[in-house]
Amino acid sequence: MDPLSATLSEPISTPALAERLAAIVGADNVCIDEAKRKLHSEDIWSNSDDVVVLVVAPANTGELAEVVKVLGDVGCSIAPRGSGMSYTSAYVPANSHTVSIDTLRMNRILAVSRADMTVTVQAGVSWVQLNEALAKEGLRTPFWGPMSGLVSTIGGGLSQLNAMFGASQYGTSSESVVALTVVTGTGEVIRTGARGEAANHPFYRHFGPDLAGIFCGDCGTLGIKAEVTFRLITAPAHEDYASFSFPSGEKLLEAMGEMSRAGIASEMCAFDPGLTEVRMKRMSLMADMKTLGAVIGKEKSLGKGLLSAARVALGGRSFIPEGDYPLHVITEGRSKEAVAFDMTEARRIARDFDGTEIENSIAKIIRANPFPPLNSMVGPTGEAWVPVHGVCPLSTAPQIFTEIQKFYAENAALFAEHEIHTGFLFTGMATNALII
Ligand SMILES: Cc1cc2nc3c(=O)[nH]c(=O)nc-3n(C[C@H](O)[C@H](O)[C@H](O)COP(=O)(O)OP(=O)(O)OC[C@H]3O[C@@H](n4cnc5c(N)ncnc54)[C@H](O)[C@@H]3O)c2cc1C
């Protein structure tokens, strides 16, 4: 039996609903193909017994609002999806009458304004697309993407509070937002922020209470982001990289806390010995010509570039002492001197917490190839990885880490029984939090 006819308060057959939606978005953009519907019913980690009945792809805010109204009228559940790079069951259907809204046709950069230092994009734009468009103008958003940014979307990133590039200095993706255009569950279009004449010129986040904040980190439950305006900065002209090795996770987190307080790093990224082993296996696979080419391209002269690439290639797996916790730090800024000053501070802090400086190849690769191919959901031996994130205060992060390890030790038998292995990744979040 048609799942819609069986379950909805206003029964409608799937073909009839598809026809109504096609009248809004065009028949080519309403998909009944089973493979695509199944793809939209699972994410990186989980799947569901239910399969979405349709996948509909609007091209703009107007079409999106019309689609949501129709789905509301007939009583369907709505699951917005960007690139499907999440692992939290966030858009996976919870019933048999869910329609997936595919935002990938909403992929236009609507306006880049150097005069106002803002950029407005449709929510289905990917982070790599945004960065490429802004780089041509010498501009950047403060937070500039997750490591999945090769495909993952701005809408998905804001719904899940992305962390990574720029986050150690500027916080999550949401903290760079100026304004949102959101379609609510009833198909109403809400525009947040101060927008000047004709409400068409978003330039400042606050116009009374912070409505944009409500929709950030909502996993799409409070509305569908249609358009997003970010603030811009001039792209930093200089950057530097350093890596350090720490004898324990606690020392590492104390050092990261102090570096956060000093506000010196644009990115900090650290691993425990378990994850280091996995990363190094992957790195030896990754040190291919493309990665080395990107490392060369980052340096101002070919000679320096070749030297850097040679170091990356020769560094192999050997430069991180076994059992240590490596930290990769990137600093950036307007002048070479300011960047050098920040890096001197990073070195001093690392020393204060028993850190030893090591080869900076990984820090360099992170920046040279920020949006690598998306293969790290599967480990080098084919194992499945799923991240679980905790945002910690600077002062208690070391203790939280100790407690997690204690919990793992207490449950070691259970982990062994289920062949569960663990690894830690640590990053910074502005001057006031760390992510474990
Ligand atoms: C290899 C890999 C690396 C990763 N690296 C990082 C990283 O460095 N930092 C990080 O933070 N995360 C990272 N992630 C996690 C994931 O990529 C992010 O959560 C990403 O933002 C998901 O974007 P997406 O477009 O794929 O969204 P989806 O997975 O499609 O959706 C995510 C959530 O957002 C909702 N949603 C999507 N679009 C909209 C919209 N327009 N309006 C409202 N709700 C919407 C969905 O309903 C769902 O709840 C990584 C994942 C992988 C697989």
Model confidence pTM above 0.85: yes
Q: Which amino acid, residue 377?
A: M
User: 160 lies in which domain range?
Assistant: 109-234
Confidence of residue 93 (pLDDT cuts 50, 70, 90): very high
Condensed to tens digits (0 to 9), the pLDDT of residues 392-403 reads 999 999 999 999
418 and 294 assigned to the same domain: yes
Ligand 1: nearest atom to the Cα of 44: 53
Ligand 1: nearest atom to the Cα of 149: 17
Condensed to tens digits (0 to 9), the pLDDT of residues 121-175 reads 999 999 999 999 999 999 999 999 999 999 999 999 999 999 999 999 999 999 9
SS3 state of residue 433: strand
CA dihedral 280, 283, 284, 286 (to 10 degrees): 170
> What CATH number does residue 395 fall under?
3.40.462.40
Residues 140 and 217: their CA atoms lie apart, in Å, by 22
What count of other Cβ atoms lies within 10 Å of the Cβ of residue 372? 19
186 and 273 assigned to the same domain: no
Q: Which of 197, 218, 234 is the last residue of a domain?
A: 234
> What CATH number does residue 59 fall under?
3.30.43.10
- Nearest CA to 152 out of 176, 123, 177, 172 is that of 123
171 and 250 assigned to the same domain: no
362 and 396 assigned to the same domain: yes
Does 223 score more than 60 pLDDT? Answer: yes
242 and 218 assigned to the same domain: no
> What CATH number does residue 131 fall under?
3.30.465.10
278 and 403 assigned to the same domain: yes
204 and 308 assigned to the same domain: no
Share of the chain above pLDDT 70, in %: 89
Does 3 score more than 70 pLDDT? Answer: no
Condensed to tens digits (0 to 9), the pLDDT of residues 41-56 reads 999 999 999 999 999 9
Q: By the 8 A CB rule, do 291 and 315 touch? A: no
Q: DSSP for 332-388?
A: EESSHHHHHHHHHHHHHHHHHTT-EEE--HHHHHHHHSSS--S-TTB-TTS-B----
122 and 151 assigned to the same domain: yes
Ligand 1: nearest atom to the Cα of 375: 1
For the ranges 204-213, 280-289, 415-424, which has the lowest average pLDDT?
280-289
Number of structural domains the chain divides into: 3
140 and 289 assigned to the same domain: no
SS3 state of residue 145: strand
User: Distance, CA 152 to ligand 1 centroid (Å)?
Assistant: 6
Q: Which of 182, 216, 234 is the last residue of a domain?
A: 234
User: Distance, CA 302 to ligand 1 centroid (Å)?
Assistant: 37
- Nearest CA to 51 out of 42, 60, 61 is that of 42
Q: DSSP for 104-119?
A: TT---EEEEETTTTEE
Ligand 1, from 160, 189, 278: best to mutate by most atoms within 8 Å of Cβ? 160
Sign of the CA dihedral with 19 first, then 185, 225, and 425 last: negative
Does 251 score more than 60 pLDDT? Answer: yes
User: Distance, CA 81 to ligand 1 centroid (Å)?
Assistant: 9
Does 9 score more than 80 pLDDT? Answer: no
Q: By the 8 A CB rule, do 182 and 189 touch? A: yes
425 and 293 assigned to the same domain: yes
E-strand stretches of 206-281: 224-231, 233-234, 238-246, 267-271
Residues 436 and 432: their CA atoms lie apart, in Å, by 14
Q: Which of 53, 75, 102 is the last residue of a domain?
A: 102
**Ligand 1 pocket member 219 (CB < 6 A):** yes
Q: Which helix (H) or strand (E) holds 326?
A: strand 325-333
**Ligand 1 pocket member 156 (CB < 6 A):** yes
User: Distance, CA 165 to ligand 1 centroid (Å)?
Assistant: 15
280 and 161 assigned to the same domain: no
User: Distance, CA 256 to ligand 1 centroid (Å)?
Assistant: 26
Condensed to tens digits (0 to 9), the pLDDT of residues 261-317 reads 999 999 999 999 888 777 777 665 555 555 666 666 666 666 666 666 666 655 544
- As a whole number, mean pLDDT of residues 48-73 equals 97
SS3 state of residue 182: strand
182 and 302 assigned to the same domain: no
- Nearest CA to 236 out of 309, 135, 372, 117 is that of 135
